[in-house]
Amino acid sequence: MKNIISELRAKQGWSQQQLAELLNVSRQTVNAIEKGRYDPSLPLAFKLSKVFNLSIEVIFQNESN
């Protein structure tokens, strides 16, 4: 699943570690999500949505679209 988390994080001026702390996950988890190696759970996707104040559909896009 494609996402724009790295762009959103950069706009906020946050490191992966800072975002990880906001989400209560490891920096490695943030890295894996940004690189598309890991799809977050639904609760984590909702946390990302809340942190960036965007809908899940804006943050994550199906790669076939």
Domains of the chain: 2-53 (1.10.260.40)
Under 8 Å CB-to-CB from 38, ≥6 apart: which residues? Answer: 29, 32
Q: Is the pTM of this model over 0.85?
A: yes
Distances (CA, A) of 36 to 1, 62: 6, 11
Kindly report, residue by residue over 32-58, the tens digit of the pLDDT.
999 999 999 999 999 999 999 999 999
Torsional sign, CA 3, 49, 31, 10: positive
**Mean pLDDT for all residues in the chain:** 95
